[in-house]
């Protein structure tokens, strides 16, 4: 067996897409297992920028089959559009498989996402507005629509009728809104169903048999560990299992079949949406990080909140995921700072701790205890080996590794596929 799960160690956008693309170079399967089109994963090959929301980014590598597994919530309109955008690149539908157990994201999910956010006012989560929470809520409440039902015209028609009777009552009576049009939805979504039907299969069997016969698999995690529904900064989280264990839950293969867990963390921190963020910077340093890192959301275009690296968080998420290696990405963005700070501990109610509190009220009181390190001014974006980095950058990486308590296996020094410094070739090769 040789497979790896790639997960975010912060609040998302850690450059999982770039690392998944690298690992997929000699993979057979690449598998999305959680979340939906709230994710935005970027890969830069030469001058071309590719952004994916549901289809796994590893598909760009030759010989790779992409799988959208059970744990995903799938917006058929978005997937149909992604399939159309791949066709001119010679990537056909036959390279993509979808589990019949995925839950289908429908117009009422997006509507409820936005109604709920608006009604929360200043207490809003800051969701991507893609309907993710309501779709997972329906799944957990056992009233959702699965892909296997969606692609069967008679079952879809009957289920749509039953679901809309309830949803329209809530829309009109609770929110005072206009009811959704059953016939129009059926007409539009039946077309997507026809388009996606040939891709639907038993993906758990496909993945098990691939793993069992020694094929190479990359599990492409979405979001970040602190957005995990159980282990993140609840309620300022998404609605899926973002930690590495999600790869087992969301695909139907056992945890003993997963070999490597590669955690991705930026060399600093970002967050999109609301919720506590102890090392957030509100000054010109934060602005400079946002500018140099081009920190604007891949999915919604929102400016990302920026701050120094928080190793209380990365140590916690290294443990929650059982990382076997850590990718420290966007190191080049820290070029040009006289000093760089790294959060080594928190002070909470006068006590120093390195343990991360997941209760947001406690986390909101955490004051970062910083270590200050010398910065560097040299351009590092074409460095290929660790020894080529300026001494200050090498010291930063080494100190971060000590604080995280998990080995760093790769450094990101630029957006392009080839702008990585591999420190541990064994972990980074499937
Ligand atoms: P993901 O959601 O974790 O896949 O990350 P996103 O794609 O949303 O955001 C990461 C952004 O950083 C993208 O625009 C990438 O092209 C870019 N990126 C990835 N690695 C590096 C790096 O090492 N340096 C720089 N400067 N940019 C990077
Ligand atoms: P990738 O995979 C960054 C955040 C939203 C919001 C919260 C809940 O690209 O790293 P949701 O729409 O999921 O109900 O929003 O989660 N969020 C992300 N932030 N990157 C992501 O994905 C995210 N997916 C969800 O901004 O705060
Ligand atoms: Mg992203």
Q: For residue 133, give the CATH number of its domain.
A: 1.10.300.10
Q: Are residues 270 and 324 in the same domain?
A: yes
> Would you say residue 428 lies in a domain?
no
Q: Residue 383: is it exposed, middle or buried by C-beta count within 10 angstroms (0-12/13-18/19+)?
A: buried
CB 126 less than 6 A from any atom of ligand 2: yes
How many domains does the chain fold into? Answer: 3
Distance CA 348, CA 359 (A): 12
Domain range for residue 136? 103-196
3 state DSSP class of 306: strand
Q: Nearest-CA neighbor of 76 among 149, 170, 161, 180? A: 149
Q: Are residues 134 and 241 in the same domain?
A: no
75-120: pLDDT as tens digits: 999 999 999 999 998 899 999 999 999 999 999 999 999 999 999 9
pLDDT score at 195: 96
Q: How far is the CA of 236 from the centre of ligand 1 (A)?
A: 22
DSSP one-letter string for 55-89: S-GGGGSTTPEEEE-TTBEE-HHHHHHHHHHHGGG
Shortest-distance ligand to the CA of residue 295: 1
CB 281 less than 6 A from any atom of ligand 1: no
Residue 43, pLDDT > 90, answer yes
Q: How far is the CA of 36 from the centre of ligand 2 (A)?
A: 10
pLDDT score at 113: 98
Q: How far is the CA of 391 from the centre of ligand 2 (A)?
A: 35
Q: Are residues 168 and 251 in the same domain?
A: no
Task: List the CATH number of the domain containing 401.
Answer: 3.90.170.10
CB 272 less than 6 A from any atom of ligand 1: no
Distance CA 109, CA 303 (A): 25
Q: Are residues 310 and 248 in the same domain?
A: no
CB 28 less than 6 A from any atom of ligand 1: no
Q: Which atom of ligand 1 is least distant from the CA of 14?
A: 3
Measuring from atom 6 of ligand 1, which residue has the nearest CA?
A: 13
Out of 196, 211, 236, a domain closes at 196
pLDDT score at 291: 96
For 51, other C-beta atoms within 10 Å of its C-beta total: 15
Q: Are residues 269 and 385 in the same domain?
A: yes
Q: Are residues 268 and 391 in the same domain?
A: yes
The percent of residues in the chain predicted with pLDDT above 90, rounded, is 96
CB 298 less than 6 A from any atom of ligand 1: yes
Round to the nearest angstrom and report the end-to-end CA distance of the chain. Answer: 9
Backbone angles phi, psi at 37, to 5 degrees: -90, 20
267-280: pLDDT as tens digits: 999 999 999 999 99
Catalytic residues: 13, 41
The residue written with tokens 């160690």 in the block is 9
Shortest-distance ligand to the CA of residue 11: 2
350 pLDDT tier (thresholds 50, 70, 90) = very high
pLDDT mean across residues, the chain: 97
pLDDT score at 300: 84
Token digits of residue 376: 């560097």
> Would you say residue 429 lies in a domain?
no
Q: How far is the CA of 127 from the centre of ligand 2 (A)?
A: 7
CB 42 less than 6 A from any atom of ligand 1: yes
Token digits of residue 260: 């490597």
> Would you say residue 248 lies in a domain?
yes
Cα separations in angstroms, 368 against 225, 281, 333, 346, 353: 20, 12, 21, 5, 10
- Compute the average pLDDT of residues 403-421: 96
1 pLDDT tier (thresholds 50, 70, 90) = low
pTM: 0.97
Q: Are residues 54 and 160 in the same domain?
A: no
> Would you say residue 430 lies in a domain?
no
Out of 196, 212, 246, a domain closes at 196
173-189: pLDDT as tens digits: 999 999 999 999 999 99
Residue 297, pLDDT > 90, answer no
Shortest-distance ligand to the CA of residue 242: 2
Task: List the CATH number of the domain containing 40.
Answer: 3.40.440.10
Q: Which among 60, 263, 317, 415 is the best mutation to test ligand 1's pocket, defined by most ligand atoms within 8 Å of the CB?
A: 415
- Compute the average pLDDT of residues 371-375: 98
Out of 141, 163, 196, a domain closes at 196
Distance CA 279, CA 345 (A): 11
The percent of residues in the chain predicted with pLDDT above 70, rounded, is 100
- Compute the average pLDDT of residues 60-64: 94
Token digits of residue 421: 């410094």
Q: Which atom of ligand 1 is least distant from the CA of 8?
A: 3
> Would you say residue 427 lies in a domain?
no
Q: How far is the CA of 93 from the centre of ligand 2 (A)?
A: 27
Maximum CA pair distance of the chain?
66
Q: Are residues 54 and 118 in the same domain?
A: no
3-state helix, strand, coil in the chain (%, to 5): 40, 20, 40
Q: Are residues 107 and 182 in the same domain?
A: yes
Q: Are residues 222 and 78 in the same domain?
A: yes
Q: Are residues 316 and 392 in the same domain?
A: yes
Distance CA 60, CA 373 (A): 39
Cα separations in angstroms, 14 against 71, 301, 321: 21, 16, 15
Q: Residue 386: is it exposed, middle or buried by C-beta count within 10 angstroms (0-12/13-18/19+)?
A: middle
> Would you say residue 334 lies in a domain?
yes
Residue 298, pLDDT > 90, answer no
Q: Are residues 245 and 378 in the same domain?
A: no
246-268: pLDDT as tens digits: 999 999 999 999 999 999 999 99
> Would you say residue 88 lies in a domain?
yes
> Would you say residue 7 lies in a domain?
yes
CB 329 less than 6 A from any atom of ligand 1: yes
Q: How far is the CA of 234 from the centre of ligand 2 (A)?
A: 13
Helix (H) or strand (E) holding 29: strand 29-32
Residue 288, pLDDT > 90, answer yes
The answer to whether 102 and 69 are in contact (CB under 8 A) is: yes
The residue written with tokens 């829309």 in the block is 171
Q: What are residue 346's DSSP bridge partners?
A: 353, 368
């Amino acid at each position: 067996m040789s497979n790896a799960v790639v997960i975010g160690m912060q609040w998302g956008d850690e450059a999982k897409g770039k690392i998944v693309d690298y690992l997929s170079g000699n993979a057979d399967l690449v598998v999305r297992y959680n979340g939906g089109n709230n994710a935005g994963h970027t890969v830069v090959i030469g001058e071309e920028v590719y952004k994916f929301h549901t289809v796994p980014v590893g598909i760009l590598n030759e010989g790779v089959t992409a799988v959208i597994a059970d744990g995903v919530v799938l917006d058929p309109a978005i997937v149909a559009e992604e399939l159309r955008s791949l066709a001119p690149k010679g990537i056909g539908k036959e390279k993509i498989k979808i589990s019949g157990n995925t839950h289908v994201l429908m117009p009422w999910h997006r509507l409820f996402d936005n109604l709920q956010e608006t009604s929360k006012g200043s207490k809003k989560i800051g969701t991507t507005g893609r309907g993710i929470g309501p779709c997972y809520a329906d799944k957990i409440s056992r009233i959702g629509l699965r892909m296997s039902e969606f692609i069967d015209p008679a079952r879809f028609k009957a289920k749509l009728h039953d679901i809309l009777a309830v949803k329209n009552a809530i829309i009109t009576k609770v929110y005072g809104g206009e009811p959704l049009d059953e016939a129009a939805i059926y007409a539009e979504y039946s077309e997507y169903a026809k388009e996606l039907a040939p891709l639907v299969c038993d993906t758990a069997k496909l993945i098990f048999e691939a793993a069992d016969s020694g094929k190479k698999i990359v599990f492409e995690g979405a979001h970040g560990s602190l957005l995990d529904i159980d282990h993140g900064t609840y309620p300022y989280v998404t609605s899926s299992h973002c930690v590495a264990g999600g790869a087992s839950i969301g695909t139907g293969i056992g945890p003993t079949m997963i070999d490597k867990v590669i955690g991705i963390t930026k060399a600093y921190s970002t967050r999109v949406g609301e919720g506590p963020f102890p090392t957030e910077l509100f000054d010109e340093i934060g602005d400079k990080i946002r500018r140099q890192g081009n920190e604007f959301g891949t999915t919604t275009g929102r400016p990302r909140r920026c701050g120094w690296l928080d190793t209380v968080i990365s140590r916690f998420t290294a443990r929650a995921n059982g990382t076997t290696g850590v990718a420290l990405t966007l190191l080049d963005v820290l070029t040009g700072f006289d000093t760089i700070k790294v959060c080594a501990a928190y002070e909470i109610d006068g006590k120093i701790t390195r343990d991360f509190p997941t209760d947001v009220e406690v986390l909101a009181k955490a004051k970062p205890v910083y270590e200050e390190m010398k910065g560097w001014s040299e351009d590092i974006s074409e460095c290929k080996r660790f020894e080529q980095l300026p001494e200050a950058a090498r010291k930063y990486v080494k100190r971060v590794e000590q604080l995280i308590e998990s080995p760093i296996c790769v450094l990101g020094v630029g957006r392009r596929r080839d702008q990585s410094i591999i420190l541990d070739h064994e972990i980074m090769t499937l």
